[in-house]
Amino acid sequence: MLVVDKLTRRFGANTAVDSASFSVDRPMMIGIIGASGAGKSTFLRMMNRLTDASEGVLRFEGRDVLTLKGRDKRRWQSNCAMIFQQFNLVPRMDVVSNVLHGALARRPVIGTLFNLYPRDDIHRAIDILDRLGIAGHAAKRAEALSGGQQQRVAIARALMQDPKVILADEPIASLDPMNAQIVMEALRRIHDEDGRMVIANLHTLDTARRYCDRVIGMRLGRIVFDGTPEQLTTGVARDIYGAGADFSEDATSTEIRDPAAVARTEIRQARVSV
């Protein structure tokens, strides 16, 4: 279904993604983890054709994605929706109009210019918002919503494109643990119920383990781990992050933890440091 072969992107002397290869034979939820600068965003941006590759092949359902041009490229980009850490909504525009923007790629230019949306699109936008539990906010300005709600609006906008793949670039990095969980559950449900492939760059190991079927670990542009969440042990994570024996998973955790347990850990750490 998806074949990535020796995919490489160089920026001058810096190789951001270095000969990355893997293949996926069915729609899955895939987490890409790795330290800052490992090449995760560059990989997603190449997949969506926001960034050109320097070398290599990326095929989806047999099509060579990297050579698509013009309308075919735009069609691919609409089939491969992207969501970002900062949501990228139009803050002063109402929620439903933000969602309807997701359908622009599939609509004639004239309607777009006059903000005329077919009634079916409007109903579909409301249905998608309802599915994500935020239909009650449809008429509000996007900026009036919490971060977690805004990210769900961004997911709704992506779903308006009816994409085969959703690429999520650190979708929960700006969210508190509770909202992070709601957003990850929404992405997981979209995969489970619609059969869409989801590829998410994640900063936190526990999130990758909990929500993904497969985890890819990147370090300095290279894929250094490709396996199941069960295979992602602390030792493997240490290698991916290039960390020493003092590597703590807590530093990459967004788990909603029992406050008493957190306090106990903090007291223990304070005792160690005095």
Ligand X SMILES: Nc1ncnc2c1ncn2[C@@H]1O[C@H](COP(=O)(O)OP(=O)(O)OP(=O)(O)O)[C@@H](O)[C@H]1O
| Residue of the chain from 11, 61, 116, 136 that contacts ligand X (CB under 6 A) | 11
Closer CB to ligand X, 34 or 102, in the complex: 34
The nearest distance, CB 187 to ligand X, in angstroms, is 18
Q: Are 155 and 83 in contact (CB under 8 A)?
A: yes
Q: Which is nearer to ligand X, 194 or 239 (CB)?
A: 239
CB of 16 to ligand X, least distance (A): 3
CB 7 within 8 A of CB 19: yes
Strand order in the sheet with 63-64: 14-24, 2-11, 55-60, 63-64
CA distances to 105, 129, 159, 245 from 138, in Å: 21, 7, 15, 49
Radius of gyration of the chain (CA): 20
Least separation in angstroms between residue 228's CB and ligand X is 22
Lay out the site mask for ligand X across 40-69 (x = CB under 6 A, - = otherwise): xxx---------------------------
Q: Based on the shown chain and the rule CB under 6 A, indicate whether residue 273 belongs to the binding site for ligand X.
A: no
Considering the rule CB under 6 A, would residue 36 count as an interface residue with ligand X?
yes
Judged by CB under 6 A, does residue 254 bind ligand X? no
Helix (H, G, I), strand (E, B) or coil at 200: strand
Q: Which is nearer to ligand X, 39 or 56 (CB)?
A: 39
197-201 and 165-169: which strand pairing?
parallel
166 touches 196 (CB < 8 A) = yes
> Which stretches of the chain bind ligand X, using CB under 6 A?
11, 14, 16, 34, 36-42
